[in-house]
Amino acid sequence: MGSSNSISDFLSKLSAGNRPDIYLSVTPGIGLEMIEVDAASHTVKSYTYRPLAYNESLREIADLEEFKKDLAEMFEELKISPKCNVTLSLPTVLFGSIEMSLMLGDDAITGAITSEVEQSYVFKRHDPIVQWMDSNTSSGENRKLFYSAVQQLVIDNISAALTEMGAALVDVEMSLASTLRALDYTGLAAEQMKDGITWNLLTVNSNGYNLVSMSGKNIVDYYEEPIAVKSYEGDEIYNVINSSAQITLMSYPANYLLIISDTDSVSAEMLAKNLSVEYTIEYIENNKFKRKEFLPTSLDVLPDNILKISLQAIGAAITKTSDYPIAFNFLATGESAVVEEVIKIPIGEKEYQITPTAATLLAGVIAVVILIPVIIAFLLLPRIQAEKQMELDELNANIQQVEKQIADLKEQQQIAGKFNIKSEINKVLQNNRIKLMSYSAIGESVPPELWLTYFLAQGSGEISIKGGANTVEDVYLFFKNVKDYLVSSDIQLQKLEMQSDNVDEFMANLPVTYDFEIGNAKAPVAAPADDKAKGKGDKGDKKGGKKGKTTGQAANLAPDNKLLSDKPIN
C-alpha cells in the first residue's frame, strides 16, 4: 500500500497538468476560426469565428491587436481556458519544388532552399522559416523536394501574442497541407486519393490559382498562376481563368480534376462548367456559395456558423490525429513549442498525467537501475573498441570513395556540353502557349461582318493579322477585342483603307469594304503569293464588296476554317 502511494506521489510531481489543445485557422474571406473536432464521432465538437483582415499582398495578418482581441472573445465564447496549446493554420505564403543532388545533407539542402526562397518579394522584408519534404518521384542522381516558407517575424509576433494570453504556439501549418488533410479526412476526395490514381487539384483564391498535380495522396508537381481576381467584374473572371487554366492543364494529364474556390469572387461550380477537359471534373465550394457542411456538427455549434467552417480549419483540427503523409510544421525545429503534450498513464483505477520530458526522466532512472550489469559488461569488453576502429576505417574508406565519385561527376559535368534539355522543353512549351493564346484570341474576337484573309503567330510573340470588313466600326471592335485578350502583346492597327479607290461609290453610299492589318512585327510580313498576283485592284463581288478567297499561307494553315475565309461570320 505504501509503495503504491509513493508511485502516485512521484507521478503527480512529474505531471505537467492537463492543457487543452486548441486549433486556429487564419482563412481569407472568413477571418479567424477556432475549432475542435471529435475524432471518435467524426464531428465538429465546437466552432466559432471572427472576421479578421488579412493582407494578401504582404501575406500576413493586417492588425495583430485585432487578432488578440478576437482570440480573447473566442476563448470566452467557447468557455475555453487560454492556458492551452495552439495549432495554427496560415494561408500558404510560398510553395515550390526544387531538385537537389543526392550527395547533399539536410543542412546543405535547407541552406540552398533558403537562398531560393529569399528571391521572393515577400522575403525581401523578413527572414524566412523553411520546411521541405522529399517527393516520391526522385530518380537518377537527384532528389526532387517540395518546400514551403513563412515569415519568421510573423510567427514570432503571433507566438508573443499567444504567450501574453497564457497560450503556447506548438504547431504552424500552411493552408495547402491543411486542405489536403481535410479532403482526405472528410472523404471529399476519396476516389482521387486512391493509389495509382492521377488527379489535379485546382484551387482559386484572390491572388490567382494554383494547380497541384497529385498521385493518390502524394504531390507530383505544382504550378501557380497569379491573377488579380478582384479586379475583374461579373463573369469576366471566368473567361480569364479558363483561358489560362485550359492551356496549363494540357501539361498535366490526369484521371480527375477537382476544383476548389477559396474566394467569394469565383464559384467553383461555374468555373467547372466553363472548363473543357477530357476527364472527370468535380468541384467544392469553400466560400459563400457553399450549400452543405463538410462534417456533421454537434448541437453546440450555432446554425449560422455551420457553413462557415472551412477545409483549412478542419485540416488544422485533425493535425495530431490524421496520418496524411504531407505536413509542414514550421515550429518542428523551433523553440516556440515550449509547452509539451500531456501523456495519460493508467495505473490501477487511477490515471496519471505526465509530460514527455518527465516520462523520459523516469524511463532514464529505471533504465540505469536495470542496465547497470549491462554497462559493467560493456566496459569489460575491450574487443568492442577494436570493432569500432574497424568500422571507422571502413567509413573513412567509403568517404574517400564518395569524394572520388564527386570529383569524377564534376569532371563529367565540365566535359558535357551546355545543352539544357529542361530549358529547351520549357522554351517549346512557352512558344506553343503563345500560339494557342493567339488562336484563342482570334476565335473569341471576330465580329459577324468581318473576315480574315491572313494570320500568322510565331513563338517569339510576333503576330500578323490581315482581313476585311464592311464597316470601320467592326475593324476597331475586332482590334480592341484582340488587344484586350492578348494583354501582354504590343499589337497595333497598322493599316486601314478602303478596297475601292472610287470616291464616287463612297459618296453615293454604295456598299464599301475595308482592308486592315493588325500586328506587332517589326518588319512587314510578305503577303501570300496569290495576293501579290491579284494586286490591289481585285474588288470581288460588287454586292458584298469583298475579296475572293485568299490563298497562300492563310489557306495552307486552315483551308476549311471560317476565320480565314472571304465571308463574314453570320
Residues 51, 56, 60, 64, CA torsion sign: negative
Q: How far apart are CA 256 and CA 389, in angstroms?
A: 56
Q: How far apart are CA 116 and CA 97, in angstroms?
A: 10
Query: Does pLDDT of 95 surpass 70?
Result: yes
DSSP 237-305: HHHHHHHHHHHHHTTS--SEEEEEE-STT--HHHHHHH---SSEEEEEE-STT--S-SS-B-TTS-GGG
524 three-state secondary structure? coil
Determine the residue type at 68: K
Dihedral over alpha carbons 535, 541, 543, 545 (to 10 degrees): -30
Q: Are 214 and 177 in contact (CB under 8 A)?
A: no
Q: Are 44 and 295 in contact (CB under 8 A)?
A: yes
Q: How far apart are CA 479 and CA 241, in angstroms?
A: 22
Q: What is the pTM of this model?
A: 0.58
Q: What is the phi-psi region of residue 391: left when phi exceeds 0, alpha when psi lies from -120 to 50, beta otherwise?
A: alpha
Q: Tell me, what's the pLDDT at 394?
A: 86
Helices 236-249 and 421-445 pack at an angle, to 10 degrees, of 140
Q: How many CB atoms lie within 10 A of CB 154?
A: 20
Q: Tell me, what's the pLDDT at 559?
A: 38
Q: Tell me, what's the pLDDT at 172?
A: 94
Q: How far apart are CA 38 and CA 21, in angstroms?
A: 12
| Cα distances (Å, whole numbers) of residue 360 to 10, 357, 530 | 14, 5, 89
- Domain covering 191-289: architecture: 2-Layer Sandwich (3.30)
Q: Percentage helix, strand, coil, to 5, in the chain?
A: 40, 25, 35
Query: Does pLDDT of 384 surpass 80?
Result: no
Kindly report the CA angle at 208 between 268 and 124, in degrees rounded to 5? Answer: 150
Residues 185, 190, 192, 196, CA torsion sign: positive
Kindly report the CA angle at 508 between 502 and 512, in degrees rounded to 5? Answer: 55
The cell for 407 is: 570529383
The beta-strand segments (E) located in 175-228 are 198-205, 208-215, 218-226
pLDDT in tens, 25-76: 999 989 999 999 998 889 999 999 999 999 988 889 999 999 999 999 999 9
Mean pLDDT of 374-397: 77
Query: Does pLDDT of 335 surpass 90?
Result: no
Q: Whose CA is closest to 537, among 515, 517, 518? A: 515
Q: How far apart are CA 184 and CA 375, in angstroms?
A: 48
Query: Does pLDDT of 535 surpass 60?
Result: no
Q: How far apart are CA 27 and CA 37, in angstroms?
A: 17
Sheet holding 43-50, edge to edge: 43-50, 31-38, 21-27, 85-90, 168-174
The domain limits of the chain are: 19-188+294-341, 191-289, 435-564
Q: What's the whole-number average pLDDT of the chain?
A: 79
Residues 362, 365, 369, 373, CA torsion sign: positive
Q: Of 10-24, 151-165, 344-358, give the lowest mean pLDDT range.
A: 344-358
Query: Does pLDDT of 16 surpass 70?
Result: no
Mean pLDDT of 318-342: 69
Q: How far apart are CA 72 and CA 82, in angstroms?
A: 8
Mean pLDDT of 528-547: 42
Mean pLDDT of 241-260: 92
366: part of which helix (H) or strand (E)? helix 356-379
Q: Are 146 and 92 in contact (CB under 8 A)?
A: no
Q: How far apart are CA 310 and CA 175, in angstroms?
A: 11
Number of H helices, E strands in the chain: 15, 21
Q: How many CB atoms lie within 10 A of CB 297?
A: 19
Q: Are 70 and 50 in contact (CB under 8 A)?
A: yes
Q: Whose CA is closest to 330, among 129, 466, 120? A: 129
Q: How confident is the model at residue 355 (pLDDT cuts 50, 70, 90)?
A: low
Q: How confident is the model at residue 523 (pLDDT cuts 50, 70, 90)?
A: low
Q: Tell me, what's the pLDDT at 154?
A: 92
Query: Does pLDDT of 281 surpass 70?
Result: yes
* Secondary structure letter of residue 82 according to DSSP: S
Kindly report the CA angle at 117 between 315 and 310, in degrees rounded to 5? Answer: 20
Q: How far apart are CA 561 and CA 455, in angstroms?
A: 12
Q: Of 200-204, 422-426, 512-516, give the lowest mean pLDDT range.
A: 422-426
131 three-state secondary structure? strand
Query: Does pLDDT of 289 surpass 50?
Result: yes
Q: Tell me, what's the pLDDT at 153?
A: 93
| Cα distances (Å, whole numbers) of residue 296 to 43, 162, 293, 338 | 5, 29, 7, 34
Q: Of 216-225, 412-421, 490-499, give the lowest mean pLDDT range.
A: 412-421
Q: Tell me, what's the pLDDT at 20?
A: 86
Q: Are 341 and 85 in contact (CB under 8 A)?
A: yes
Q: Are 468 and 515 in contact (CB under 8 A)?
A: yes
Residues facing residue 497 across a β-bridge: 515
* Secondary structure letter of residue 22 according to DSSP: E
Higher pLDDT residue, 454 or 140?
Answer: 454
Mean pLDDT of 544-550: 38
